[in-house]
């Protein structure tokens, strides 16, 4: 009599139907014992669904349940900074750099302005520009001509006869005049027959001038004062009109003609040479 032979695998540890693992084991045994019996598609689906949906716990870690409205939260690990904080830190750093750049630019601009003002003040204390108005110094200096005046000339040097100077008009210091130095302190200046006489000596004036045709009484220049005249003497208001010039009113010495361009150049100051003594009238 033939015998049915079953190849039975390992016996399940538990046959409690409430344990789903036993059901799986029994299904496997049944499939191997009875080749004609096949598991139902529904049972396989159910079993697979249970396997996929069954949470796995490791070392007592409780599974976390999430509802439909629960959002995942990224937890930084290893000291990483969340993207939002990185962007905020970058924005703050950028603002600080822009603020520092603006402050640096403002400081440099302020330093440049202060330096420019200081340079201007220094230059202004040394040199000043003037525009000639009137004809009292023609033909050597023209109306509308621009000059630079050296304001240090007489702080470092001495006056000489023939110097062209700019000064505050003694009767109205708000006005500035330009004249030529004829007499120094201690000199005696006079005009005879339209001729300039200094210290009793005839003066050879090496510059162009328009003479006068009358006599002017001799006068001695006081200490600290100057005797000044315009080159165009008939049209000049000078020492002959308002007296000797105190050196306190002197601004400086004409140094450079800057306009018009054709007349530009260093201003010359030809010295007045004293000639032979004039013969005394009998």
Nearest to 251 by CA among 145, 181, 167, 190: 167
Q: In this structure, how many other beta carbons lie within 10 angstroms of the beta carbon of residue 133?
A: 13
| Interacting residues of 187 by C-beta distance below 8 A, sequence separation 6+ | 161, 198, 199, 220, 221, 227
Given the residues 104, 160, 179, 253, the one annotated as active site:
179
Given the residues 33, 99, 125, 136, the one annotated as active site:
136
Which residue's entry shows tokens 């000078």? 238
Give CA–CA dist 255/252, Å, rounded.
9
Q: How many CA atoms lie within 13 A of 275 on its CB side?
A: 10
Mark whether 18 is an active-site residue: no
DSSP calls for 80-122: PPPHHHHHHHHHHHHHHHHHHHHHHHHHHHHHHHHHHHHHHHH
Give CA–CA dist 139/210, Å, rounded.
8
Mark whether 136 is an active-site residue: yes
Q: Is it true that the peptide bond before 139 is cis, omega within 30 degrees of 0?
A: yes
Catalytic positions, please? 136, 179
């Amino acid at each position: 009599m033939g015998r049915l032979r079953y190849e039975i695998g390992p016996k399940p540890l538990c046959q409690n139907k409430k344990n789903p693992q036993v059901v799986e084991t029994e299904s496997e045994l049944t499939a191997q014992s009875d080749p004609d019996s096949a598991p139902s598609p529904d049972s396989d689906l159910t079993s697979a669904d249970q396997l996929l949906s069954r949470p796995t716990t490791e070392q007592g870690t409780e599974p976390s349940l999430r509802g439909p409205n629960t959002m995942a939260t990224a937890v930084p690990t290893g000291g990483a900074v969340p993207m939002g904080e990185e962007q905020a830190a970058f924005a703050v750093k950028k603002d600080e750099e822009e603020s520092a750049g603006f402050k640096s630019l403002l400081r440099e601009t302020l330093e440049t302005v202060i330096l420019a003002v200081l340079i201007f003040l220094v230059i202004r204390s040394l040199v000043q520009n003037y525009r000639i108005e009137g004809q009292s110094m023609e033909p050597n200096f023209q109306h509308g001509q621009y000059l630079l005046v050296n304001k240090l000339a007489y702080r470092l040097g001495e006056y000489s006869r023939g110097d062209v100077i700019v000064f505050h008009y003694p009767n109205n210091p708000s006005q500035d005049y330009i004249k030529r130095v004829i007499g120094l302190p201690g000199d005696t200046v006079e005009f005879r027959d339209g001729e300039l006489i200094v210290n009793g000596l005839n003066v050879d004036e090496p510059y162009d001038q328009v003479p006068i045709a009358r006599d002017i009484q001799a006068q001695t220049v006081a200490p600290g004062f100057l005797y000044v005249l315009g080159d165009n003497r008939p049209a000049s208001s000078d020492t002959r009109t308002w007296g000797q010039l105190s050196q306190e009113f002197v601004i400086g010495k004409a140094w450079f003609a800057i306009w018009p361009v054709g007349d530009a150049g260093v201003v010359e100051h030809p010295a007045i040479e004293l000639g032979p003594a004039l013969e005394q009238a009998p």
